[in-house]
Chain A
Amino acid sequence: MTETAHTEQRDYIGAKLGMWFFLFTEVLLFGGMFLVYSVYREVYTADFHEAGMEMNVVIGAVNTVILLTSSLTMALSISAIKKGAHKISVLLQAATVLLGIAFLVNKYFEWSDHIRHGFYPDSPQLLAMSHGKILFFGLYYVMTGIHALHVLIGVSIITFILVLTLRGTVTSNDYIKLENAGLFWHLVDVIWIYLFPLFYLIL
């Protein structure tokens, strides 16, 4: 509305609306898994509690702090680009990417630790356990695994947007790509906010 000088057609509301619709499909994807989790937790309450003891609360908490902080840097990078502070925006996007990678590195150490202790899908040790524990670890690997895949995709998208910002495609006039990448990143954060208590905090 304010840019009469531009002949280019831009539909910010439409772009954001499309992104939100996509996010809803993501919510339903994880919603289905949350449904399965809640049903089996109700049926195998004791097993879930015992299996939950194997989780490392410290790594889970550290990863929560990392993702929350990365959401902060992402939100600040959008504020920065709106103000025209390109350099600061680029630095904040880079910080977001680094925090996302730190999350995945933690995940690597965490999973290696589980595998060393013999807890991985179809491991002889796990198959010898009760039904509920097998289900707990199955759900754990699928849900945190698909979440980690989303973190990886998010990191790739933000890296791509970072390059666009450096090239001057994403500017203080046209930042919808950065904003939509941010929406995706925050949703990944929201999903982790639920995964953390469901897997790490059943003591």
Chain B
Amino acid sequence: MDERGNHIVGTKTYVFVWTALLCLTGLTILAAQMKMGKWSMVANIAIASAKASLVLWFFMHLRQEKRLFKLMIFVPLITISIMIGLTFFDIWYR
């Protein structure tokens, strides 16, 4: 592997990831129809995050990137988590 991260990912891997993404899409629709109240949303967000992770890790090549790239993506994720988390403290305990 040279400095461009010139690693060719096989077609099989990509098709496998794509199949997994389609299965998770089916699962999320199923989870929404089970009428689990609040838990439906929790399940849907968890499945969406699993799908997003697959896209980031395989399609966006984070798997082959340097550690800097792998760690960097936590900066916006943590920022948003703090923003949403603190706002909810305000809403729940006002």
CB distance from B80 to the nearest CB of A (A): 4
B72 to chain A, nearest CB (A): 6
Q: Quick one: which of B36-84 are within 8 Å of A by CB? A: 40-41, 44-45, 47-48, 51-52, 55-56, 58-61, 65-66, 68-69, 72-73, 75-77, 79-80, 83-84
How many chain A residues sit at the interface, stated as a range, is 35 or more
Residues in A whose Cβ lies below 8 Å from that of B69: 16-17, 20
**Contact assessment for A82 and B8 in the assembled complex, using a CB-CB cutoff below 8 Å:** yes
Contact A201 B55 (CB under 8 A): no
CB < 8 Å neighbour of A193 from B35, B41, B52: B52
The minimal Cβ–Cβ distance linking B73 to chain A, given in whole angstroms, is 8
Q: Which residues of A contact B73 (CB under 8 A)?
A: 20, 24
Are B55 and A197 within 8 A (Cβ)? no
The answer to whether A194 and B48 touch across the interface, beta carbons within 8 angstroms, is: yes
Docked CA distance A12–B6 (Å): 10
A20, A74, A83, A187 pick with most chain B CB within 10 angstroms? A20
Chain A residues within 8 Å of B6, by CB:
82
Instruction: Please tell me if the beta carbons of B32 and A42 are within 8 angstroms of each other in the complex.
Output: no
Q: Which of A17, A72, A187, A196 contacts B15 (CB 8 A)?
A: A72
9-residue interface stretch from A30-38, A97-105, A137-145: A30-38
Q: How large is the interface on B (under 10, 10 to 19, 20 to 34, 35 or more residues)?
A: 35 or more
Determine whether the beta carbon of A35 is less than 8 Å from that of B33: no
- The majority secondary structure among interface residues of chain A is helix
**Contact in complex: B83, A35 (CB < 8 Å):** yes
Residues in A neighbouring B14, C-beta threshold 8 A: 72, 75-76, 79
Measured CB to CB, the residues of B under 8 A from A are: 2-6, 8-11, 14-15, 17-18, 21-22, 25, 28-29, 31-33, 35, 40-41, 44-45, 47-48, 51-52, 55-56, 58-61, 65-66, 68-69, 72-73, 75-77, 79-80, 83-84, 87-88, 91
Interchain residue pairs with CB less than 8 A apart (28): A1-B2, A1-B3, A12-B3, A20-B72, A20-B73, A24-B73, A27-B77, A34-B84, A35-B87, A38-B84, A39-B88, A65-B22, A68-B22, A72-B59, A75-B14, A79-B9, A79-B11, A186-B59, A186-B60, A189-B59, A190-B55, A193-B51, A197-B32, A201-B28, A201-B29, A202-B41, A203-B33, A203-B40
